[in-house]
Amino acid sequence: MAEIHQEELRELQLSKQGQLARTILLNDLNLLKAQGTSPTLNIIKSYEKDDSYPFFPTDVYSFHIDRSPIAADTFLCTYHGTASDIIPNSEATQKILIPEIRAELKKLYGKSDEEGFKSFLSDHFFDLHYQPKPNTQTINLGIGHLWKLAIDHPESKVIPCIHRAPKERNGEKRLMIIC
């Protein structure tokens, strides 16, 4: 993953179409900054995959929610490449509540302390991941659409959005704003 800064965008020699795209990107970045966010424009070849616990990866390719200790939201927009997916909360089960997964996590934790187990789940981000129910239809966020995703934080009045990053297509990069 590589971040592209506004100065770098401005310095690019572009075709008319490229200049229009640059104007849109710069405008979107500035609009988000005016809303008090800290957007970054990234070229993503791939995300780091989590293989620490093969039965339960906690990377962005798994359906998950975002969490923050302060009031915040996630904004994202894919301009090129495959866009992220979301699913309705009613169509997913928190993975730590699935009996066979919970049993494996308890074995991994290795203690009988329930409060400690809850902390273990949170500390390792297991509690952020969800399993789609059978026949769940994913919703692709599409290209060029700016999305505001609710996240889990202490002041949240809404449930967080369950989403995932797409698996990369061979050789294809993504261009996206995230904050």
- The overall longest dimension of the chain from CA atoms, in Å, is 64
For 97-155, what is the HEC assignment? HCHHHHHHHHHHHCCCCHHHHHHHHHHCCHHHEEEECCCCCCEECCECCCEEEECECCC
- Residue 103: pLDDT band (50, 70, 90) is very high
Could you tell me which of 76, 74, 79 has the C-alpha nearest to residue 144? 79
Q: What is the mean pLDDT of the chain?
A: 93
What are 133-175's pLDDT values in tens digits? Answer: 999 999 999 999 999 999 999 999 999 999 999 988 888 899 9
What residues contact residue 128 under an 8 Å CB cut-off, 6+ apart? 58, 64, 65, 66, 67, 152
- Lowest mean pLDDT segment, chosen from 23-32, 51-60, 105-114: 51-60
pLDDT score for 83: 95
Helix, strand and coil in the chain, % to nearest 5: 30, 25, 45
Provide the token pair at 104. Answer: 């494996």
The helix (H) or strand (E) run that includes residue 140 is strand 139-140
**Could you tell me which residue, 3 or 49, shows the higher pLDDT?**
3
- Please give the average per-residue pLDDT across 120-126, as a whole number: 95
Beta carbons of 21 and 80 less than 8 angstroms apart: no
Say how far apart CA 72 and CA 66 lie, in whole Å: 10
Using only the alpha carbons of the chain, give its radius of gyration.
19
**Whether residue 54 has pLDDT greater than 80:** no
Provide the token pair at 172. Answer: 């294809």
Q: Which residues pair with 129 in a beta bridge?
A: 64
* Amino acid at position 110, single letter: G
pLDDT score for 148: 94
pLDDT score for 66: 95
- Please give the average per-residue pLDDT across 71-85, as a whole number: 93
The string over 71-104, giving b where at least 16 C-beta atoms fall within 10 Å of a residue's C-beta and e elsewhere, is ebbbbbbbbebbbbbbbeeebbebbbeeeebbee
pLDDT score for 65: 97
pLDDT score for 145: 94
